Amino acid sequence: MNDLEIYRKAALLLRKGENIALATVISTTASTPGKVGYKMLIWGKNQETIGTVGGGLIEAEIINKAESILPKTENQVLRFALDGAEDDERGICGGSVEFLIETFDNKSLHLFEELSVICESEGKAVVASIISPQKPPEKILLKDPKQIETTTNVNFSPAVVEFIKKLAAQEQTAKKVSADGVEIFVETIFAPPMVFIFGAGHLSYYISRYAKSVHFGVTICDDRAEFANKTRFPDANNIIVENFESVFDKIEINKNSYIVIVTRGHKSDEIVLAQAVKTNAKYIGMIGSKRKTSTALNKLRKRGISKEVLSRVYSPIGISIGAVTPEEIAFSIVCELVKIRRIGDKAPANHLAITP
């Protein structure tokens, strides 16, 4: 479940005249099942929901609280400590979690429609939620955070203004800030990182599906239209049918890009790799054995590409899970992408047998 689905559903319900409650995890300490930014939408007499704020008994309490204030438009903050005894059903993770519950009526329809459009178009924006318990919710949508002083009627303090600008520039997801006696929960909306998959075979099919399911964008590149097409890759953001020698002229690689090289043969892999290492992509991975990797990288080394540049390459590609089938191999590759995205890493250079 991603924010787009929640915002779309919220807009649909508000359009029908139903009130909604939006529960968001706004801060945590230590270990918790729900992470900052997790969201859940609650509506109706039957306590229908989409999304999650961590599950379990605490989530049930959040739902009950939301239902009790649904007829109103206000916001509430709930805090839970997860350091109970073993029989405490709230959890024994050892951390603490704070939730913001906001209830909206159809006066907020335009806000959620705008949020849906921005998320769907993969645009950038900042949402600032002012935390004022028992008062109507106040969510401020900033499409250009750099112009925060002139695009909102709210008189943010200089400290808050700088915090919002910094968060937006770093594309961090969400964080709570306190300044001048006011608490604000700030969330950034930005395009998901793009995975460029070179090759449109069986493995690419599964990599694309898994990558989309964990909120990466996907661009498929291949020179065969019978493989690289919307019928085969219906969820791909882009499909480029082009020779591998010139395909990099058709795409834009940046520091948040992920390159996965899984073409139909080692010659095509090497053609793509030679161009990939010249980019500033966050991740470059190539399918193949250690022998194939060593051969390909040594060829590039002899062509003048430095050992330091080549050490960025992940190959063999993927997390070591003993994968055998195309589905399993694709899963291991996407696991590696998530690892790099969330906690960072460096390519394990000890597997690269590159000549000096």
- Give one DSSP letter per residue of 93-106, joined into a string: SS-EEEEEEEEE-G
Q: How many C-beta atoms surround the C-beta of residue 81 within 10 A?
A: 14
Closest CA relative to residue 26, chosen from 100, 88, 85, 93: 100
CB contact burial 101-137 (16+ within 10 A = b; e otherwise): bbbbbeebbebbbebbebbeeeebbbbbbbbeeeeeb
Q: pLDDT at position 160, please?
A: 81
Q: pLDDT at position 201, please?
A: 94
Structure tokens at 21: 């409650």
Q: Phi, psi (5° rounding) for residue 68?
A: -70, -25
Q: pLDDT at position 93, please?
A: 59
Query: Could you give the CA distance from residue 132 to residue 115 in angstroms, rounded to a whole number?
Result: 22
pLDDT along the chain (356 residues), means of 10: 88 96 92 88 93 90 93 92 56 77 96 93 87 89 76 74 81 79 87 94 96 94 96 95 96 95 93 95 91 86 87 89 94 95 68 45
Query: Could you give the CA distance from residue 261 to residue 287 in angstroms, rounded to a whole number?
Result: 6
Tally of helices (H runs) and strands (E runs) in the chain = 10, 15
Strands 20-29 and 194-198: unpaired
Q: How many C-beta atoms surround the C-beta of residue 24 within 10 A?
A: 22
Q: pLDDT at position 85, please?
A: 45
List domains and CATH numbers for the chain.
3-189 (no CATH), 194-351 (3.40.50.720)
For residues 62, 67, 73, 76, the Cα torsion angle rounded to the nearest 10 degrees is -20
By the 8 A CB rule, do 313 and 258 touch?
Answer: no
Structure tokens at 106: 């159809």
